[in-house]
Structure 1
Amino acid sequence: MPKYVIERELDGAGKLSSNDLQGISQKSCDVLEELGPKIQWVESYITDNKIYCVYIAPDENMIRKHAEKGEFPITAVNEVKSVIDPTTAE
């Protein structure tokens, strides 16, 4: 199943409290449960003004449906085509 990186612009994301992040996470999990097992949240990275989320889903439409139901912003959705790391150089 395809993997996606979702970019979400959110001013002040890096200043969100642990309670804020817990609430966002819970809301996301609630929506994922509603959508069923075909979409999976892997992890997210928080920067100063953006959140980058990694999801596994059958298509971009499922990613957008999750965002709409959870009222999460989407700046860009990118399908991962390959993954490299230091061992790729060997």
Structure 2
Amino acid sequence: LTVLDLLSCGELCACDLLEHFQSSQPTLSYHMKALVKTNLVTTRKIGNKHLYQLNHDLFESVIHNLSKVHTSNQRCICHNLKTGEC
């Protein structure tokens, strides 16, 4: 979550991210690859630097869809549940 918080301020290179952690470059690289693989973070390479940023489209979609799930409305399947029958 700290990486995502740092990237919420904008694009950062791996060396800038590494300054905020007490871990090695290979450890950060491992975690960044996982974030990129899950599409939470995007990356681009300039020279020998990897630049990372949040996948804002994905986060906006998640927030939009969570608001639908979190808020009860007439289309909710919970209105069709039969309770107390177990």
- Asked if Structure 1 and Structure 2 have the same fold, meaning a TM-score greater than 0.5 normalized by the shorter chain, the answer is no
Greater share of helix:
2
TM-score (norm 2): 0.30
The structure whose Rg is larger is 2
Greater share of strand:
1
Greater RCO, 1 or 2 (C-alpha within 8 Å, sep 6+)? 1
